[in-house]
Amino acid sequence: MFDREYSFRGKHAQYVKDLVDKDKAGLFNRNIDVYILAPIIGYLYGRKAKEDTGELTTKIFAEQLHKEQIKLKFIYRLIMLLDDTYELTTEEKINRAFREKDNIENMQIYESYVLGGVEYLHEKLFDGKLNADDYLHGVYELVDDFYQSLSIREEEQDIYDIIKKYG
């Protein structure tokens, strides 16, 4: 898992380039930064997408993926715990997250969130923006809107208590 080179294809490759390239929005330093954030955004905003078959590709090298393994696996497990594509029981979700390794079907679900997230980010951060100031303002809005909607703040303490139990 996350040990082989990954490529965005077709429109998603274009979207990632739009978000990363210095002469475009240049909001992310690397493709992998998009790849890390996108599944979270995809799940958060309920966006999944199928891989596009267009010719354009943009890569993430295996070495980069390897370096970010901890983060990537953590996010993957989160998605596996939460995704409701197949109406699984909690136990099954936990099994999927922690016991089933290199399951192609699971990986497809994960990547559909990645691509959905890329589409959402592209809509919010690139479409209709004209210049560097617009791009940055897009980021600001994305962050601030999310912050305003965040209800977790009151419940933070709960989570910390739980985490501590395992820690």
* Cβ 47 vs Cβ 41: under 8 Å: yes
Binder of other proteins out of 4, 50, 62, 160 (CB under 8 A): 160
Binder of other proteins out of 85, 127, 143, 145 (CB under 8 A): 143
Residues 6 or more apart whose CB falls under 8 angstroms from that of 59 comprise: 5, 6, 7, 8, 31
Only segment of 4-12, 35-43, 51-59, 103-111 that touches other proteins (CB under 8 A): 35-43
Q: Is 37 in the site for other proteins (CB under 8 A)?
A: yes
Only segment of 5-13, 50-58, 76-84, 102-110 that touches other proteins (CB under 8 A): 76-84
| CA–CA distance, 66 with 127 (Å, rounded to integer) | 32
Residues 6 or more apart whose CB falls under 8 angstroms from that of 10 comprise: 51, 52, 53, 54, 55, 56
Closest to other proteins by CB, 13 vs 97, is: 97
Give the tokens for residue 125: 């951060």
Give the tokens for residue 48: 């999944």
Q: How far is the CB of 55 from other proteins (least distance, A)?
A: 28
Only segment of 6-14, 49-57, 58-66, 86-94 that touches other proteins (CB under 8 A): 86-94
Closest to other proteins by CB, 4 vs 71, is: 71
Angle (nearest 5°) at CA 84 between 79 and 89: 100
72 closest CA partner among 40, 25, 44, 29 = 40
The contact set with other proteins (CB under 8 A) reads: 26-30, 33, 36-37, 40-41, 43-44, 70-71, 74-75, 77-79, 81-82, 90-91, 93-94, 98-99, 132-133, 136, 139-140, 143-144, 146-147, 150-152, 155, 158-160, 162-167
